[in-house]
Each structure stands twice: as C-alpha cells, then as structure tokens.
Structure 1
Amino acid sequence: MSVPQIDFDPFAESGPAGRMHAMLDGLRERHEAFRSTGQQGFWVLTRHDDILAAFQNPETFSSRAIAVIDPDPAYQWIPVMLDPPLHTAWRRLLRPLFTPATAGAMRERITRHCAALIGDLAGRGSCDFVTDFARLFPTIIFLELVGLPTGRLKEFLAWEDAVLHPPPSGAGRAEALREVADCFTELIRDRRADPRDDLVSAATTFVLDGRPVTDAELLQLCVLLFLAGLDTVAAQLSYTFWHLATHEDDRARVAADPAVVPGAVEEFLRVYALPLPARRLTEDVDLHGCPMRAGEMVMLPISMATRDPRAFPSAASVDIGGPPAPHLAFGAGPHRCLGAHLARLELQVALTEWHARIPDYGIAPGARPTEHASLVLGLDALPLSWPPAR
C-alpha cells in the first residue's frame, strides 16, 4: 500500500472563517494517517483513537519537540516540552497554582475586567471582536496572574502578534522573543528580591529534586505561560462568537439562559478545537501503513479528534444543552493543559457578561471574517455589529 503524500502546510493557510476545520475534517475522512510534504516533512494522525493514544504514550511520542516547524528546538519550554519523569516533577509543583479553587478565587477580578471591556464597546454598536475584545481580555488576566501592570497591555499584544502570528518569512519573531525573555528575566529577578502575591513569586520558591529552581528554568516557564495562555483563549473566544453571530438560535439561547453557558463552552471547545501540536518519535512506528521513523515529527491536530464522527455523534455540529461530551480540546495524558480551569472560567465569564449587555448581534454587513493557521487555529478579524445601547 502506498503512503498518502499530501501537500498540507497549515502554517501557510488563511481564508474565510471555518475553512480550516472543514479542510481538516475532509483530510480525516480520506486518510487515517498521511505524510505531509509541507515544511520539512511530517506525519499526521487524523483519527480520535490514534491521537488519544499518542498523547497517552510519551515514551514513544516525545514532547521534546512540539511543533513541526521546529523539529530540533534549542529551547525547552517548561513543562510542556518535558517528558516524564521530569515533567511529572514540574506538574506536581505547578498543580496547586492551577486548581479549580485557585481559578475560582480570580472570578471577581476576571468579571470586573470583562465587564469593563464590554461596557466600553456596548454603546458603539460595532467592533472587530478579535482586536477589540478577544485578544485584550485574556492578556489583561495574564498580566495580573504573573504580577505585571496592565499598563503594559499594548506592549504584550505586540509581542504576542509577532511571536505567534509572524509573516511567512518569520521576520520580527526572534526579536520579539528576545524582548519577552528580557521582560521575564527582569520580573524573575525582581520577584526573588521582593516576592508578591502572584504566580511568578510563588514559582521562585519551587524546590525540584532537592534544589531551588533556577532563573533559566523559571524563564522557560514564563515564556510558556505567555505563549499558551493568551492566543488560545483569544482564538477560542473568536470562534465561539463567530458561531453565535452566524447561528441565531444558539445565540438567543445563550442570551436568554445563562445556565446553559458552561455546557455551551464545552461544545465550543470540542467543535472549534484549536491546537495543532506535534510530537517527535523516539522509535520507529508503523500506523495504517505509514512507516514513521525515530526522530520524525508527527502532528496530532486536536480538531481532527474532537470532530471525529467515530467518537462523537453529529461531530461537527454544536449541540447547546445536549449531554456533555468528553473531548480532547485541552489535550490528554500527562500533558493535559494545566490552565484548563482558568481558561474555562474566562470563557464562561465572557459569554455571560457579553450577552447580559449585548444580546443581539451579528456579522457586520458586508464583512468577511477571516482565519489563520499556525500552532493554533484562530481568527484574524471578526467584525460584529449590534443595536447601540442607550
């Protein structure tokens, strides 16, 4: 049996909103696995059970490299690029900072920031949801979480854009990463000298295998929090509100009954799953006739798993109010997202507060929401309009 060779490079894709999820659905239904000729060449697993099994097998599917564009990285973001047992030790240290109770303690502050952003928009009657809300909201929460002033919001937004959404040439990304590293290096030094009530201060007290964690390790942790905590929530919010703006019955139900919001968030996470993570093989594997060799990269697109009709009935449809469906939107296995509780809270607060103030909205007349693909699927623009609040 010949190995399917597909010209698939999601990092070069852009177009109308929803195109990428539909394209990934089509690839999954045509191939159980395939070889992509994009980038430096990589394998893709497409079905739910295979992707889940790979996440649960870090011995073979190593997290030492997690992006097909960088199969031999010089960096090692903590803890996402560690394998057990070192990864296990770091998770044990970090877990108390990301419990449901810890996230819940932030609800009042999160709600206050969210309501303020929406209050500024309500009277305008229109906005670009991505730039005017989705990117601002989680970045403000992140700055508070790590103990940086919200006055640095514009600076962090610029870094986020340069690092996570660079042009095809990659211009500006390395410089932005250096500036991010410089910022966190200074923050770590300050918090060691003057601890406060924030995540970085808490992390400076970590003891790993009987020794204090180093500044270099804390820097890799901070960079990971920056990369993982901002773009994912912004992208999830954008796809969620794109769906609601184009599905009137779902929007009306969320606006009329806040009690459905937690379940709705889970459905949006499943149907519009975002990450395109990868793993590097530590040994040869043959799956579905694809001879994958040690050292090669394997992409595990999460939306291919969460929209797989073999695992979920009506897999590509949002069912608000239906029975909850366990999904892989936050990954699985030892690397399941530590920030899942905080992300869920941010998403739930955003849906509740927005629909309390702006319940009736849609795509702005003549507008064409657009999306991109990178390490995470996301929207570039989502122009919305609504009757201005009196």
Structure 2
Amino acid sequence: MTVSFCGTSCTRDEGEVTRSDSDKNIYLPSTGYIPVRIIKELDGFGKSVRGVGQNDWGSQNSNYSRLMVNGPLKAPASLLSDISSYISGDQKSMVEAARGSSMPALALHGANIAAASKADTINLIGHSRGACEAIIAAWFLYAYGDEKVRNTPVNIFAIEPVPGPGEWYGLLTQLPPNVVNYVGVYAWDMCNNVQSYDHTFQAVVPRPNGRMRGESNEITLHDQSWANWIKREHGWSVLADDAQQKDPLAPDDKTPQPHGYELYACRGRHSTVAGNTTSDGAYDPKKDSANVAPVCELIYKMARGYLTQWGSNFSVPCAVEEDVLALRKHIHMFHREFDYMGGGPTRNSQLPNRPYVRRISSISGYNPINSYYMEDVVGNPPYKLIYPVTSERQGKGWVDWKFL
C-alpha cells in the first residue's frame, strides 16, 4: 500500500489542474507535482492525502471529503478531540496553511488508510509538511495499530520535510521502530535568509531507529506526565519523547553507518524538488526553466525507483527517459539558476550567522536555535559537483550524505 501526503496548500490534484492559486504549468509535464503524479501512475493500490490548509480537489464544491479518523487504528480521545475541527468541511485557510495544526489529522487519516488496506508493506511518500505527516503516520501505525499493523514494515520517501514554526514534536525528530527504510531529500538552495523567508523552511532530519543502527529496536512510548499536562501537551504529541536516539547530524567518526537510512542533498528550492520548474522556485509559470527541470526529473525517478524497490507497482512506464547520470551532469553544468535561488554563486557574507546557509535540525522542542548549518553536517561536497559553501564550513555529522 502506498500513501502520498501533499504539501501545504496542495490539493490531491495539484499539478494536474490549474486553480486560482496554483497554475499547473509551474510543474514539469513529465513529473507534475511528484507526490500526486506518483499516485496517478500506480496500479491503483495507493491513495493521496490533501495538504494542510487545503481541500481535496482544485474544483472543490460543497461536498467536502471527510477524513478517516475512527479506525481501524485505536486513536486516543485526546487526539480525536484535538483534530475534530479538521475532519470535515471547508478546510481551505491561509491561517491554517501558516500554522499547520491539521498535520496530525491528516497523518491519522493516512495511517488509517494504510492500516485498512491490510497490506504486508506500507510505503509513504510526502512533500513539505506532507513528508512530516508521513513520519507522524508511521508513529500512529506503531502506537495505535493492532499487533499485525504494529509490525508491518513502513518505508518513507520524504521530500523536504518542513514542519514549520512552533513546537517540533518528538514524533517528527525520531523514526519509530516500524520504519525499515527512510530516504530524505533536502534542497540546498533554500537558504536566502536575507531577501526572503527561507528561515521558516527549516527542515527536520529524523533520527534513525535502533534497527537501522544495528542496535535494539525496543522503545518505551511516553505517557502524558503532569508536566506535559501543565504545558497542554496531549499524550499523542509526546509519544516519542522518551525514544529520542542518536542524533544523525552530530559528529561522531566511530559510529558505523546506519542501514536503510539515506540522506540526499540536492540543488534547488523547497518546491523545485517536488516538481516546480521555475527559475526562482516561485509560482509564475512564465519563469519555467529548462535548466531547473533536471532536478524535478531526478527526484521523480528516485521516488519511482525507491517505491518500486519497496514493492509498489506502477501501471505506466517512467515518464523521464534520460538516465540519472545525464540529469546530474546537466544540473551541475548549468547551475546558474540554482546559485541565484540561494542568494548568489557565493554564500559568504559579512553579516553574522551565515545568512546564506540553510539550517536543518533533528532536535525536538520549541527552540528554533536548536539547529545545524546544513553545510556543516553534510561534509565536503564532491569537488566535481557544484554546491556553494562558505569559508566557515566545518565538520560533518556521523551519517554520510549523498549529493545529487
């Protein structure tokens, strides 16, 4: 079973139709909006989930779809109460798109769809907050499923998992024991913190579980404490607080590499890696660029490849014929658009705190300062590939990154 979670303000037909606030022509025709196109190309054994702050379809009428929240997973009353306003009715809201409070509702919906399929393997793919919902959905399957569901292997293909500001639940920063494979794709050029709002797109890198590290995969689910109650933290939101394991972004040259856990850096912006071909990663189709398109094609091929490896079956051939090496060569030969997406070909600045370097994090809580400079955790980019870094770049996290 494959479940796809759309990003913030994206419909389940994002990229397939044009609506007032989203022109389908910003997306490459061969890949579309990747989380939606993937589901369209499957053999029917897959479902999509709408994005935060949006309805299911671009031409939504008064018959709004209701989320599947009352089973088969046995969700606690506190969770059902917290998500009650997001279950049905008109969900299009700019306020909610900014806030993201409906993530657990959409995650539970997707998890219930997966559990109801009774599949032997569950594959989850998502973009932006949708990628975060995929991680939360895996936790809900583990915490609220019966014995079979709890032990069903889960694979996650996460494109730019960005929770947004506010509290980062432990559910986001740690993979549950049922996740067998995690592939995360992170955009290198989402880093112009001077002229744009890129600082709000801090991406989460969830910690590998015990299975991936070759250690015990047993955990203890956290019960709501008095401290949680006083801070109005419901039991579902603190499930993983006692299960936070080794930080993949911290340095440690003695720890073996995890298995089934892959992190990729890719040129482009938050929307580029999901299929947007505009030269600035924004939403004007007149700015579509042939030099940006190879990133979209590459991530689309990767998504299909990993999902196929994990058991998903596609009913149509891959729409991108060019091979991966040719796509990567094009990306790094014609990189001007990517350079300017992130503030220019050089990322050095006289301003403090490296304003042209992206920050990512694997740390739960409210503090936005608990983050890492992306260039400091990925290691030195291969010299044949064009990844602008600053003169301040140093160190490396213990998990090896791959550069696309």
What TM bracket, shorter-length normalisation?
under 0.3
- Taking structure 1 as the reference length, the TM-score comes to 0.27
Higher relative contact order (CA 8 A, sep 6+): 1
- Say which one has the larger Rg: 1
Give 1 or 2: higher helix fraction: 1
